[in-house]
Amino acid sequence: MGDWTVQNPGTIAVAGASGYAGGEILRLLLGHPAYVRGELSIGALTAGGNTGTTLGEHHAHLLPLADRVLTATTIDELAGHDVVFLGLPHGNSAEIANALPDSTVIIDCGADFRLTDAAAWEKYYGTAHAGTWPYGLPELPGARERLTGATRIAVPGCYPTAASLAMAPAIAAGIVEPRVNVVAVSGTSGAGKALKPNLLGSEVMGSVSAYGVGGVHRHTPEIRQNLSAISDTEVTVSFTPVLAPMPRGILATCTAPTTVTADEARAVYEKAYADEPFVHLLPEGRYPTTGSVLGSNVAVIGLTVDTEAGLLVVISAIDNLTKGTAGGAVQSMNLALGFTETDGLSTVGLAP
């Protein structure tokens, strides 16, 4: 963390400011205590095709920045900032990262630097692997330490955030077999602002759809990586994403074979998350609803054991744009810069 003051604030650039990730980062920054105090300032807001338009045309909810004009996403525009958030299409981050100084804190909301396995990257993304950065999910074992003071951070995918938080304690404690099944229902903002017919309001309202079925979704290797890293053996992951008619939220239903009781499983989770400010374990018999975490940075988790089926069943709910993207990014930024980890992040959702 620099010695930033109101007179000499740290500056933040957001590349991809007209997208949903960019907008959510800005929403959170506008409420960040260091921004409110004037010790952080918002610098360049850049875009691709939307260059030259105002932020208000894309994010009418960000009134304090409504008149800010978007500039082009170039090295020149991003240079000179202390912190740069990247909300770009996959594959575009490496070039920018390489051109900026090592001291710049770069926080990439894209996938480029998430995977450690180059082969998995190439299989799922089809381009050359750019590398691996510290992974911005502080609740995973060892992650918080790697993020503290980091200058390069790979923000996790939204589904991997929900699924990894749901299953990590069980996998790490070895109370389940390493075969995880994830069916995760997501709101539409996870697909971004891409102009595709299947994302039109007329199509998504009143309907749910499965897509990326059979292990082909790009978040599959990321979930596998997170869980395998804390397991004695390689974890297999079956992942099915489902699109639901709501703008935000992910509800992940995760199962794995177990022989422990529900109480034993609960004890494992209580211990794992006892000190986590952004994981909330529900009491026995209660399960989460995504409506309770909209705009909040919390993952709410409910769990039980289905004794007849022999499965641990864990349900987790997050806001895909907050804890699943921009909130995780700001939480990681706080660790990187030495702020209090919870600064600017709420445990209170907007409901109903």
Which residue is listed with tokens 């602002």? 193
Question: Shortest gap between Cβ of 312 and a copy of itself (angstroms)?
Answer: 9
Closer to a copy of itself at the Cβ: 137 or 162?
Answer: 162
Closer to a copy of itself at the Cβ: 59 or 81?
Answer: 59
Q: Tell me how far apart the alpha carbons of residues 285 and 302 are, in angstroms, rounded to a whole number.
A: 8
| Cβ pair 335, 278 in contact under 8 A | no
Closer to a copy of itself at the Cβ: 133 or 269?
Answer: 269
Q: Is 245 in the site for a copy of itself (CB under 8 A)?
A: yes
Question: One of 15, 105, 106, 158 is an active-site residue; which one?
Answer: 158
| Cβ pair 324, 331 in contact under 8 A | no
254 is catalytic: no
Closer to a copy of itself at the Cβ: 147 or 177?
Answer: 177
Question: Shortest gap between Cβ of 231 and a copy of itself (angstroms)?
Answer: 15
Where does this chain touch a copy of itself (CB under 8 A) — which range of 8-16, 91-99, 101-109, 344-352? Answer: 344-352
Point out which residues pair with 179 in neighbouring strands: 236
Of 183, 176, 178, residue with least CA distance to 306: 176
Q: Quick count: other Cβ atoms within 10 Å of Cβ 22?
A: 27
Residues in contact with a copy of itself, shown as a per-residue x/- string from 293 to 332 under the rule CB under 8 A: xxxx-x-x-x-xxxxxxxx-x-x-----------------
Closer to a copy of itself at the Cβ: 8 or 207?
Answer: 207
Answer for which of 75, 118, 119, 200 binds a copy of itself (CB under 8 A) is 200
| Cβ pair 306, 258 in contact under 8 A | no
Residues 41-80 that bind a copy of itself (CB under 8 A): 58-64
User: How would you class 336 by CB atoms within 10 Å of its CB: exposed for 0-12, middle for 13-18, buried for 19 or more?
Assistant: buried
Q: Strand 83-86's sheet: what is its strand order? A: 71-72, 40-47, 10-15, 83-86, 105-108, 152-154
* Both tokens assigned to 287: 């399960």
Judged by CB under 8 A, the number of residues near a copy of itself is 86
Question: Shortest gap between Cβ of 188 and a copy of itself (angstroms)?
Answer: 4
Residues 156-185 that bind a copy of itself (CB under 8 A): 179, 181, 183, 185
